[in-house]
């Protein structure tokens, strides 16, 4: 039986103060090639230090996830890294074009402040970035790969859609990214899921690019289920996808920053941790970060 928001009131949200923001501890200006760090800026924005490179995912520094800054979902927690405190960037990964993942103002700021950065985007998004000042932009289809120095970047399938207005639905692609570094005795591997519902390709991604040291998995924006199941995983599905990926550590993302759907803002991590425990996975493998917190993977 489907439960609609008109037949069940939305659960109450907590006070935003329950979401702490801590001082990041990434390595400036760059981490050693053999060291891997992940810092959660908020939502799907993360700073990844891998193979001696500084990599930013789905950068979003605006106050609202919206085409205008006077309406739309407002940020609950300030960015975990202030924009001017970003280290010199080498790569920016864009998973798709929704406003909570692709922010026009942030793209312009990054292109001006970090003109040397390489942008890796799914098919159809290069023009958006180039029109806002991006110089080096690489478009990838699902399963296509691109090398930046010794880092291999592969675009991976996702269950989602794209649109920024009326009449452009599906005009550009959406994807996740598998990152493989060549440094060290065994290359470090990171998976960034982007924005996705649960799909059967997670196992194939794990076979092809795993085992991953860290999987960055979206766990929020999943209610009402009758509609969101084809767009966003719920926490239980995120844990199942993690298991299929053959990963060692899961970092939950896409929660606690913008109010997008019906579930309470603090529900996703509670359900994700319970699903993790119920699956019998080791406690050390679930690393829930505060905004700004840095995970260093030894």
pLDDT above 80 for 298: no
Q: What is the C-alpha to C-alpha distance for residues 121 and 139, in angstroms, rounded to an integer? A: 5
Model confidence at 10, in pLDDT bands (50, 70, 90)? confident
Residue 72 has pLDDT above 90, yes or no: no
**Residue 285: is its pLDDT beyond 90?**
yes
State how far the Cα of 215 lies from the Cα of 253, in Å rounded to an integer. Answer: 10
pLDDT in tens, 219-274: 999 999 998 999 999 999 999 999 999 999 999 999 999 999 999 999 999 999 99
118-167 pLDDT, tens digit per residue, is 999 999 999 999 999 999 999 999 999 999 999 999 999 999 989 898 88
The confidence score (pLDDT) of residue 1 equals 38
Secondary structure (3-state) at 206 = helix
Which residues are paired to 297 by β-bridges? 36
Q: Provide the 10 A C-beta neighbour count for residue 170.
A: 10
Per-residue pLDDT at 163: 87
pLDDT, mean of residues 272-294 = 97
Residue closest to 195 by CA, chosen among 71, 60, 90, 25: 60
> How does residue 183 score in pLDDT terms, banded at 50, 70 and 90?
low
- What is the average per-residue pLDDT within 290-294? 98
Tell me phi and psi for residue 75, to 5 degrees: -65, 130
pLDDT of residue 20: 92
- Among 226, 50, 230, 233, CA closest to 151: 50
User: 175 by DSSP, 3-state: which?
Assistant: coil
Architecture of domain 29-285: 4-Layer Sandwich (3.60)
Write down the pLDDT at residue 2: 45
User: Beta strand pairing status for 212-218 and 247-253?
Assistant: parallel
pLDDT at 4 over 60: no
Mean pLDDT of the chain: 94
Q: Is the pLDDT of residue 185 over 60?
A: no
What confidence tier does 202 reach under pLDDT thresholds 50, 70, 90? very high
């Amino acid at each position: 039986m489907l439960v609609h928001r008109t037949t069940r009131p939305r659960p109450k949200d907590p006070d935003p103060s329950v979401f702490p923001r801590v001082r990041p501890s990434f390595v400036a200006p760059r981490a050693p090639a053999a060291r891997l760090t992940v810092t959660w800026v908020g939502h799907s924005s993360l700073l990844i230090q891998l193979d001696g490179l500084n990599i930013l995912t789905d950068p979003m520094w605006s106050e609202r996830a919206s085409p205008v800054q006077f309406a739309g979902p407002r940020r609950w927690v300030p960015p975990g890294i202030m924009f001017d405190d970003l280290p010199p960037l080498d790569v920016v990964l864009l998973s798709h074009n929704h406003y909570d993942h692709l922010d026009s103002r942030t793209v312009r700021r990054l292109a001006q402040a970090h003109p040397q950065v390489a942008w890796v985007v799914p098919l159809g998004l290069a023009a958006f970035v180039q029109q806002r000042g991006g110089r080096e932009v690489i478009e990838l289809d699902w399963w296509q790969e691109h090398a930046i120095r010794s880092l291999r970047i592969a675009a991976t399938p996702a269950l989602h859609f794209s649109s920024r207005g009326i009449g452009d639905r599906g005009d550009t692609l959406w994807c996740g990214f598998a990152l493989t570094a060549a440094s060290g005795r065994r290359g470090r591997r990171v998976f960034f899921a982007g924005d996705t519902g649960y799909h059967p390709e997670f196992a194939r991604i794990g076979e092809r690019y795993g085992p991953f040291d860290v999987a960055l998995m979206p766990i929020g924006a999943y209610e009402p289920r009758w509609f969101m199941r084809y767009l966003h995983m719920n926490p239980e599905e995120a844990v199942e996808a993690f298991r299929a990926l053959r990963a060692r550590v899961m970092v939950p993302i896409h929660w606690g920053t913008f109010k997008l759907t019906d579930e309470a803002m603090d529900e996703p991590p509670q359900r994700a941790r319970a699903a993790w425990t119920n699956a019998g996975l080791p406690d050390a493998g679930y690393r829930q970060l505060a905004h700004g917190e840095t995970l260093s993977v030894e």
